[in-house]
Chain A
Amino acid sequence: MIKKIGITFLILIFLAIFIPFASSLPDGLEKVIQNFGIEEEYTYWNGLLSGYLIEVVHNPMASTFISGTIGIFMVLISALFLDKSLRPKKV
């Protein structure tokens, strides 16, 4: 358990270190959309924290870091549920 908490902490440190260096250039797919100037259709779902930003946190890097932390914990919680669904039932 301590090992898992340690690794999670390391992932958060990794995120904090690299967020300031992350490129804001479009990725390959976004570049294709830009190049051919198409307009995306209306989207039905805009997410809870769209763009990895939290409205109330004004510092963009802190905002992205907090969003990332929430995402990481949500992934870990989902993995726990997955584990529960995979675990053989005790007879």
Chain B
Amino acid sequence: MHIPDGLIITNEPLSLFGSVGMWIISLAFLYWSWKKVKLTYSQSITALLGISSAFVFAAQMINFPVIFGTSGHLVGGTFLAMLLGPYAAILGMTIVLGMQAVIFADGGILAFGANVFTMAIIGGMSFFLIKLIMRKSRSKSRLATGVFLSSWISVVLGAITAGVIISPAFTGGMMITVPSMFIYYAIIGIGEGAITTILVSSIQKIQPKVIGGLTLLMERSI
């Protein structure tokens, strides 16, 4: 889902301003997240942030085949949000996306703001959807349902947003890009949901303390 710079049409105002706008929105979210994490700084969270982001980086390199001749990989936004909480997850995912763009040209530089928004911010914010689904419940099956649904929704929502951002590059515009992105990522999102749910449930069984998000889910204000 990494938007390359080649899809940002610089002589098309809608495309150029869209990507610049995404940079501004993403920077604002990043600053807000950084402030939030700084307020409740804990060395264990930043250590976990490094390790879990490194895992997400590795997992994003492994594409799994999906139908219609496409492939997908774990995005990992909801996974990071469950481990680290929403704000640290945004920062961790941004590091992953930053390395991918700068070192591997996986995702553009001009499109970086859009990529941070579609994967890091939407992924991190999906935490609040799990919180909404969980309410006060501590049921494991409810948590699994919440994690599955939230990771699916975060991928699909990210794909639709990416569809809007890349639309000026396509002759048919949004009428072409948004439904196409929705269809492909609705299927890829099932893989995201399944992997995230398996990962979270397994860690919950082996090392429940690592799931920092579980404590945060029960807190009234975060």
**Which A residues are within 8 Å of any B CB, using their own CB?**
4, 7-8, 11-12, 14-15, 18-19, 21-33, 35-36, 38, 40-52, 64, 67-68, 70-72, 74-76, 78-80, 82-83, 85-88
Contact = CB atoms under 8 A, between A and B. Distances in A.
B72 interface: yes
A28 B70 contact: yes
A interface majority secondary structure? helix
B interface majority secondary structure? helix
B46 A27 contact: no
Contacts of B170: 36, 38
Interface stretch (B98-106, B130-138, B143-151): B98-106
Contacts of A76: 50-51, 54
A83 B61 contact: no
Given A75-B57, A79-B46, A88-B41, A47 B102 contact: yes
Interface in B170-190: 170-172, 176-177, 180-181, 184-185, 188
B10 interface: yes
Contacts of B188: 27-28
Interface in B32-64: 34, 37-38, 41, 43, 46-47, 49-51, 53-55, 57-59, 61-64
A44 B38 CA distance: 34
A64 B2 CA distance: 18
B13 interface: no
